Amino acid sequence: MNARCFILPTILAGLFIVFWSPVSSQPPQVVQPKEGAAKPWAKSLIGTWKVTKMFGRPLPATWNNTIEFKQNGRYSLRIESPNRPLTITDGSYIVLDHVIRFTRPADAERDEENWDVTIEALSIDKLNTTAGPPHERERTVFRRIVSE
């Protein structure tokens, strides 16, 4: 399959992950894990994750789209594909139950932006998320490549 078929979807998915789902005026409720329950989502997210599938299709091996979640509540999103310039977006995040709330600070071209991504599944080596309005939810699958 031609890698060009994946260029627009990858760019759109990267932008979708970063910019799509606007935050409602009320923050999600924080749910504290019960004693003896599995590790909290936030601690399990820390590390670097590579996008392996989006729009229901695997990404070509020549693409390197990653997101790094740091212990200090910062993230760094890298979108790298052939024939496109590298795009890096940095900001902060907070995990509220199974929702990751991202904040990208304002810069010369854009205002500050906040959006939510829902964690559907999280294990030591795999992360599944959804984002977007209910009628257009997009699933993204990540594989852990570095853990902290």
Ordered DSSP codes for 36-95: TPPPPHHHHH-EEEEEEEETTEEPPTT---EEEE-TTSEEEEEE--TTS--EEEEEEEEE
Band of residue 135 on the pLDDT scale cut at 50, 70, 90: confident
Domain 4-147: CATH architecture, name and number where available: Beta Barrel (2.40)
Q: Which residues pair with 25 in a beta bridge?
A: none
> What tens digit of pLDDT does each residue of 2-19 get?
555 555 455 545 544 544
For the full predicted model, state whether its pTM sits above 0.95.
no
- Spans of all domains in the chain: 4-147
